[in-house]
Amino acid sequence: MSFLLNKDRIVMGVDYYPEHWDKSLWAEDLDRMKKAGIEFIRIAEFSWNLFEPQEGEYTYTFFDEFLELCKEKDMKVIFCTPTATPPAWLTDKYPEVLNARQDGVLYRHGARRHYNYNSPIYQRFTRNIVERIASHYAPHESIIGWQIDNEINCEKDEFYSESDTIAFREFLKEKYGTIKNLNKAWGTAFWNQTYTSFSEVYVPRTTLSNSTNPHEVLDYKRFVSDSACRWAKLQSDIIRKYIKPGDFVTTNGLFGNLDNHRMVRESLDFMTYDSYPNMAYGVDSHFIETSGLRDRFWGLLLDEVRSLKGNFGIMEQQSGANGWNTAMAAPTPKPGQITLWTMQSIAHGADFVCYFRWRTCTFGTEIYWHGILDYSGRDNRRLKEITEIHDKFAAIKEVSGSEYKAEVGVVETYSNKFDSELDAWHKMIETTSKTGIYEASQFTHTPIDYVYLQDETRVEELAKYKVLIYPHAVIVTEKEASLLKEYVENGGTLILGCRAGMKDETGICSQKNMPGLLSDISGVEVTEFSLVTPGEKALVSWDDDEIEAAVFTDELSPSSGAEVLATYANRYNKGVPALVENKYGKGRVIYFGGAFNRHSAEVFFKKLGVINPLSEIMDIPEECEIAIREKENNRYIFVLNYSGEAQEITLKKDMFNMYTSASCSGKITLSSYETLILKQ
Ligand code: GAL
Q: ω into residue 499 within 30 of 0, thus cis?
A: no
Mean pLDDT calculated for residue range 378-405: 98
Mutate to test the pocket of ligand 1, among 45, 252, 366, 368 (most ligand atoms within 8 A of CB): 366
Are residue 474 and residue 532 in the same domain, yes or no?
yes
Can you give 29-45 as a three-state secondary structure string?
HHHHHHHHCCCEEEECC
Are residue 522 and residue 664 in the same domain, yes or no?
no
Mutate to test the pocket of ligand 1, among 17, 157, 315, 356 (most ligand atoms within 8 A of CB): 356
In a domain, 160, yes or no: no
Mean pLDDT calculated for residue range 149-176: 98
Q: Point out the ligand 1 atom lying closest to the alpha carbon of residue 154.
A: 7
H or E segment to which residue 317 belongs: strand 312-318
In a domain, 549, yes or no: yes
pLDDT higher than 80, residue 291: no
Q: What pLDDT is recorded for position 1? A: 67
In contact, 675 and 340? CB cutoff 8 Å: yes
Give the angle 376-379-383 at the CA atoms, nearest 5°.
Answer: 115
pLDDT higher than 60, residue 289: no
Are residue 550 and residue 439 in the same domain, yes or no?
yes
The total of structural domains in the chain comes to 2
> Which residues, at least 6 apart from 346, have a Cβ–Cβ distance to it below 8 Å?
10, 353, 396, 399, 638
In whole angstroms, what is the distance from residue 473 CA to residue 440 CA? 20
**pLDDT tens per residue across span 308-327:** 999 999 999 999 999 999 88
Q: ω into residue 515 within 30 of 0, thus cis?
A: yes
In contact, 594 and 578? CB cutoff 8 Å: yes
Mean pLDDT calculated for residue range 365-373: 97
The helix/strand/coil state of 381 is helix
Are residue 425 and residue 470 in the same domain, yes or no?
yes
Q: What pLDDT is recorded for position 345? A: 99
CATH code of the domain covering residue 640 = 2.60.40.1180
Residue 197, classified by CB atoms within 10 Å of its CB into exposed (0-12), middle (13-18) or buried (19+), is exposed
Distance of CA 402 from the midpoint of ligand 1 (Å): 29
Long-range contacts of 606-610 (CB under 8 A, 24+ apart): 606/444, 607/542, 607/543, 607/545, 608/466, 608/467, 608/493, 608/495, 609/466, 610/407, 610/408, 610/446, 610/466, 610/467
pLDDT higher than 80, residue 287: no
Q: Point out the ligand 1 atom lying closest to the alpha carbon of residue 45.
A: 9
In whole angstroms, what is the distance from residue 415 CA to residue 476 CA? 9
Q: What pLDDT is recorded for position 292? A: 84
Residue 623's domain spans which residues? 618-679
Q: What pLDDT is recorded for position 288? A: 55
pLDDT band at 567 (very low <50, low <70, confident <90, very high): very high
In contact, 215 and 175? CB cutoff 8 Å: no
In whole angstroms, what is the distance from residue 343 CA to residue 359 CA? 22
Distance of CA 614 from the midpoint of ligand 1 (Å): 37
Closest CA to 487 of 475, 500, 470: 470
In a domain, 306, yes or no: no
Closest CA to 285 of 322, 340, 325: 322
**pLDDT tens per residue across span 572-623:** 999 999 999 999 999 999 999 999 999 999 999 999 999 999 999 999 999 9
pLDDT higher than 70, residue 286: no
Q: Point out the ligand 1 atom lying closest to the alpha carbon of residue 46.
A: 9
In whole angstroms, what is the distance from residue 179 CA to residue 198 CA? 6
Mutate to test the pocket of ligand 1, among 251, 252, 316 (most ligand atoms within 8 A of CB): 316
Strands (E), 24-107: 40-43, 76-80
CATH code of the domain covering residue 590 = 3.40.50.880
Strands (E), 516-633: 524-531, 539-542, 545-548, 552-558, 563-568, 577-584, 587-592, 618-619, 624-631
Are residue 587 and residue 630 in the same domain, yes or no?
no
Distance of CA 150 from the midpoint of ligand 1 (Å): 9
In contact, 465 and 613? CB cutoff 8 Å: no
Are residue 556 and residue 640 in the same domain, yes or no?
no
Q: Pick the residue whose CA is nearest to atom 10 on ligand 1.
A: 366
**pLDDT tens per residue across span 434-487:** 999 999 999 999 999 999 999 999 999 999 999 999 999 999 999 999 999 999
Distance of CA 671 from the midpoint of ligand 1 (Å): 31
Give me the phi and psi of 355, to 5 degrees please. Answer: -85, 145
CB atoms within 10 A of CB 411: 26
Distance of CA 368 from the midpoint of ligand 1 (Å): 12
Cα–Cα distance list, 665 to 530, 539, 588, 671 (Å): 51, 42, 39, 17
**pLDDT tens per residue across span 182-233:** 999 999 999 999 999 999 999 999 999 889 999 999 999 999 999 999 999 9
- Residues with CB under 6 Å of ligand 1 are 150-151, 154, 274, 316, 356, 366, 369
Distance of CA 189 from the midpoint of ligand 1 (Å): 44
Distance of CA 155 from the midpoint of ligand 1 (Å): 10
Are residue 437 and residue 555 in the same domain, yes or no?
yes
Are residue 469 and residue 440 in the same domain, yes or no?
yes
